Amino acid sequence: MDDTYKYDRLAIQWSKEMETGVEKIDKQHQTLVAMINRLQSAIDSKLELTGISLIFGQLASYTKYHFKAEELILEKMHDPHIVAHRQIHMKFVNILREYEKSFRSGDATVVPKLLSYLEVWLVDHIVKEDKVSLGGKTIAKDITEHVIDDRKVDDWEWIYSQAKKNKRI
């Protein structure tokens, strides 16, 4: 898949503050940031709704993949806050589903609203939740080596195939 988007402005700028210290999780977070920036670029360039729908589907599929990986790591770490963390993820997925449902029913005005929500939510979640739970802990790094499939971290073709498989495009 072609990843040549014109970025007039970024919705989210990756920063050191967002690093958890767990390289594979940080790469996944960077992929989510890139997808959100693609959505911003699509809006800025007035991309056709089918293109926005594709990005929407990719974002939804990859988010679920990332949450599953993150939750598995926290579970294997015996993180005492796993239930709360999982609930935060579930709430986010439900909100994303509602935006997607509105968009698919023809309401294109939800896309900028979703983008605004994502800009705040992702950075806030990484800094306040993920960094606290994973925060460079050696055990998180060790577990991550066995949990995350590197091919899926920034493989746009895989992300596209998952979105298509899940009927999101």
For residue range 68-106, what is the model confidence (pLDDT) as tens digits? 888 988 888 888 889 999 999 999 999 998 998 898 898
Q: What is the pLDDT of residue 90?
A: 95
For residue range 28-48, what is the model confidence (pLDDT) as tens digits? 999 999 999 988 888 888 778
Q: Domain 21-165, what architecture? A: Up-down Bundle (1.20)
Residue 169 has pLDDT above 50, yes or no: no
For residue range 49-75, what is the model confidence (pLDDT) as tens digits? 788 888 888 888 899 989 988 898 888
Q: How many Å apart are CA 169 and CA 166, to the nearest integer? A: 8
Domain ranges of the chain: 21-165
